[in-house]
Copies of this chain bind each other. A is one copy, B any other.
Amino acid sequence: MIDTLAIKRRQFLMGSAGLAGVAAYGMPAFAQDGGKLPAYASWKDADDLIVHTDQTLETKRAAQGDALVTPSSDLYIRNNLPAPSEDIVADRDAWEVQFEGFANPGSMTVGEMKTLGVETVVCVLQCSGNGRAFFDHETSGSQWATGAAGNVVWTGVPVRVLAEAMGGAAEGRQWLTGTGGEEIPAGLPPETVQVERSVPIDAMERAILAWEMNGEPVPLAHGGPLRLIVPGYFGVNNIKYIKRLALTADQSPAKIQQTGYRMRPIGVEGDPSQPSMFEMSVKSWITGPLEKASAGKVQIHGVAMGGISELKTIEVSTDGGETWTEARFLGPDMGPYAWRPFALIADLSAGQHTLASRATAADGLSQPEDFPPNERGYGNNGWRAHAVDVTVS
């Protein structure tokens, strides 16, 4: 299996090469590196992105580098439905959200929310399928390698502050349910396509409704004027253009909640009894070098995240996992939900080297060598699959 993985790994390494090889694995076709940016994201840096489709843009692995914060121009996009019209960001403070399931429900504009409370949190935004390309079984969905992830600064009102303002939860509420403002394509039953997700109500303690991303109003492409941010949770739970926030007794009836984003064995249909893609896990990957290096001292760098915990250590191997050396984190620790860049300067002899990284969080959890294959290719945090084969000369 490792040899097969090594082949797949090389194909996806630079986020560009190996389309012929991919086709041989029977994966769905996707646009090659250099595809045209869709209009709603035309302000992004095309050189640093892989355009899979108009709804799925991936950051190139090399471009992730050792960034403390991912520049907005490089941040990945994964939309379940087309982005709404630019009209919705014409008057950002006027955007209105319906609140339900509180003692005193009602509606509130962004302008009103800004007078209730404000908080800033740095957290990893990561698609559930990030790392899917490294599984060696066939999976539908975008073939993300490492670039459906970024470290992002969000500013907005804490949901717990809104909840207090509305007299707290109504009785029997177990879930925090957000509904996206996407237009539902005509002729489709809403629940089959509506972007509506429920997360356990405890997440309310750390969730915010964000009007700013990386120090600027949240771009439409990333869910502006207002996005639900649930720090530590996979991307799908961070509802864009949020128009309704409800405390509910049950999970959303939407397909994306009931059967979508469920972790299950290969060949099994999704159903609500399976784990949903909620909290993220400890993970890391090397972002350079990825292909070649000169013999002697080499700076190896990458990014690491604890999932829902601060990081404890990051180790790097230059021999495919036989031996490990502790690397150093770069820059300030920005909290349990943020990623940390890391670096190790290693002495590499001429020849082939398999470079791997392995993060351990403060909660004691480490990346596994391999993450179990699963039907949708979710949650891959195995260190071996994320290793890179580098030719040193």
Contacts and interface: CB of A to CB of B under 8 A. Distances in A.
Interface residues of A, number: 39
Interface stretch (A61-69, A167-175, A318-326): A61-69
A68 to B, nearest CB: 5
Given A68-B153, A296-B115, A345-B117, A122 B332 contact: yes
Given A120-B341, A330-B119, A331-B120, A69 B215 contact: yes
A338 to B, nearest CB: 8
A114 interface: yes
Contact of A66 (B116, B120, B332): B120
A71 B72 contact: yes
A317 to B, nearest CB: 19
Interface in A148-192: 153, 155
Nearest to A114: B299
A333 interface: yes
Interface in A287-342: 296-299, 301, 330-335, 338, 341
A340 to B, nearest CB: 10
Interface in A106-145: 114-122
A212 interface: yes
A214 interface: yes
A337 B252 CA distance: 46
Given A71-B215, A153-B68, A153-B69, A301 B118 contact: yes
Interface of A: 65-72, 74, 114-122, 153, 155, 212, 214-216, 296-299, 301, 330-335, 338, 341, 343, 345
Given A71-B72, A116-B345, 9 more contacts: A66-B215, A67-B153, A68-B215, A69-B215, A71-B214, A115-B345, A120-B331, A122-B332, A332-B334
